[in-house]
Amino acid sequence: MKKFFFLAFFLILFSGFATAQWGYKYNGKVKTGKTPLRIYLTNVGFVLYCAGFDANFNGIKDDGDEPPSLWQIGLNKDDDIVSKKIIDLEFRTPLMPSRSYFDLQRNLFFAINKNSIDTVSLFFNGTEPAAKKGRYISNISNVSSISGSFTNLFISVRKSLTEGYVYVYDITNKKFVDTIKAGKGVQMNKYMPFTGQLFVLNEGTFGKDDGSLQWNKYQGNKHGKITTVNIGGLPNHFMYDVHFHKIYVTCNTSNNVIRIDANNKTDTIHFDLPQYNGPRETTVFPIEGSSDPLFAVTTYDSKVFIINNNKKVLHTFEAYGKAESLFYISDNFLIITPFEKGSYKASSEITIYSKKASDVADAHLNKWLISPNPVVDDFSLSYPDNVKIRSLELYNTVGKKVASFDNHQSGTLRLGINLPTGMYFLKIAHNRGIKTIPLLIK
């Protein structure tokens, strides 16, 4: 297998923006809808998807039930993390596992419904985020995951207990154009546009060690030869390690994280946890100025482990619920917990950990700020006194550099811009590493 991990820029963005030195403390919780699953970076900021709650799994909204919903997650003027519901989606019995998709290019959230794929268009109504719902694909059921490219959607479908497929849907022509045979219990898929490869994770059969990861070239609505690596242990999530060109696959029942390098060689990171409460996801935990990034591993045992490339566990955090995924906002990281600790009762909150002030030698290290944001005509960049800026580049959501700036010697920098409305990312190379800050142009 060639080195297929060329999306370092985007993976660092989506992993988060906290690049601080060590030291985090529990800083409370934030209220959400029921069964929170994942935070997405969108054109209206950070948005949390909650799967909702159907107590008796009858598909009908009864008293106490709750539909899926989208929530805005952000910081208030006191730098406290706050949440606000944007919209309720169509009621359904939560499908677990279920991995929806946000398309930054089209500003569309693709939501998995019982027998359809729905869309939510996100936009600003004045200064407040708003949303509009739509039906995208009808008469499709048992969808477990969606990802996309510039031209296609890739839809994982569990046709039966023994049959799994990835259906390819042409977004422009609005039709299915290909079917790729997947494994049993097909789950997460992810397309790598810069290399033209589609990766598909198969959970396998419950109680058996027949999970697998497969990948193939996909270009021009045609797929190439499929390569498969056996994983075992009910794998449910995989992550691309762009620094060391490896894949991390979490296996919930075996309590293993399987690591695959660019030559298809595998090794194992094992966690001593109760069965069926093992690893759920891995997330890059970037450390500013370090050549050895760390990785956060969430577990349904309500613990989050931070490990380095040599598989050494450096820190353990308590999630106060079954930990599914992580997201970073400023100097905080959020642990998303769909269920309460020790049960499968739907949670309605996520856990916050914040950087300890005592672990920062210079209080100015935190002072990275774009103002105003959203941007109308121009903006100011403020940064710490002990930082020397080397370069400033602005990227759009598909990874294209749209501007670079030469004058960056003062503590506060004003830049004139003339670009279309949308989400952009300011990539800042400086003497302590690289900082990436999202900004929205209105």
pTM: 0.78
Q: Residue for token digits 């060391």?
A: 244
pLDDT score for 74: 85
- Asked if residue 113 is part of any domain, the answer here is yes
Residue 382 sits in a domain of what CATH number? 2.60.40.1930
Q: Quickly state the pLDDT bin for 375 (edges 50, 70, 90).
A: confident
- Asked if residue 1 is part of any domain, the answer here is no
Give dist(CA 129, CA 389) in Å, integer. 33
What is the pLDDT averaged over residues 108-117?
A: 93
pLDDT score for 224: 84
Give the C-alpha distances (Å, rounded to integers) separating 74 from 41, 80, 329.
11, 8, 8
Same-domain status, 275 and 423: no
pLDDT digits (tens, 9 = 90+) for 82-110: 899 999 999 888 776 679 999 988 989 99
Neighbours of 400 (CB within 10 A): 8
- Would you say residue 233 has pLDDT above 70? yes
Same-domain status, 212 and 316: yes
Same-domain status, 307 and 389: no
Same-domain status, 351 and 376: no
Range of the domain at 387: 367-441
Share of the chain above pLDDT 70, in %: 84
- Asked if residue 32 is part of any domain, the answer here is yes
- Would you say residue 17 has pLDDT above 50? no
pLDDT digits (tens, 9 = 90+) for 193-226: 767 889 999 999 877 888 999 999 888 777 888 9
pLDDT score for 186: 94
- Asked if residue 3 is part of any domain, the answer here is no
Q: Quickly state the pLDDT bin for 270 (edges 50, 70, 90).
A: very high
- Would you say residue 46 has pLDDT above 60? yes
Residue 226 sits in a domain of what CATH number? 2.130.10.10
Same-domain status, 387 and 295: no
Structural domain count of the chain: 2
Same-domain status, 273 and 152: yes
Same-domain status, 169 and 299: yes
- Asked if residue 76 is part of any domain, the answer here is yes
- Burial of residue 291 (number of CB atoms within 10 Å: 0-12, 13-18, 19+): exposed
What is the pLDDT averaged over residues 60-75?
A: 91
Same-domain status, 411 and 280: no
Share of the chain above pLDDT 90, in %: 41
Same-domain status, 384 and 428: yes
- Asked if residue 292 is part of any domain, the answer here is yes
Average pLDDT, the chain: 82
Give dist(CA 349, CA 81) in Å, integer. 12
Phi, psi (degrees; rounded to nearest 5) at 401: -75, 125
Same-domain status, 347 and 372: no
Same-domain status, 35 and 118: yes
Which of 359, 376, 397 is at the close of a domain? 359
Q: How remote is the C-alpha of 208 from its chain's centroid? A: 28
Phi, psi (degrees; rounded to nearest 5) at 431: -70, -10
Q: Return the DSSP state at 53.
A: B
- Would you say residue 367 has pLDDT above 80? no
- Give me the helices (H) in 302-373, please: none
pLDDT digits (tens, 9 = 90+) for 323-356: 999 987 767 889 999 999 989 999 999 999 887 7
Which of 324, 342, 359 is at the close of a domain? 359
- Asked if residue 2 is part of any domain, the answer here is no
Which of 291, 326, 359 is at the close of a domain? 359
pLDDT score for 409: 53
- Asked if residue 15 is part of any domain, the answer here is yes
Same-domain status, 348 and 374: no
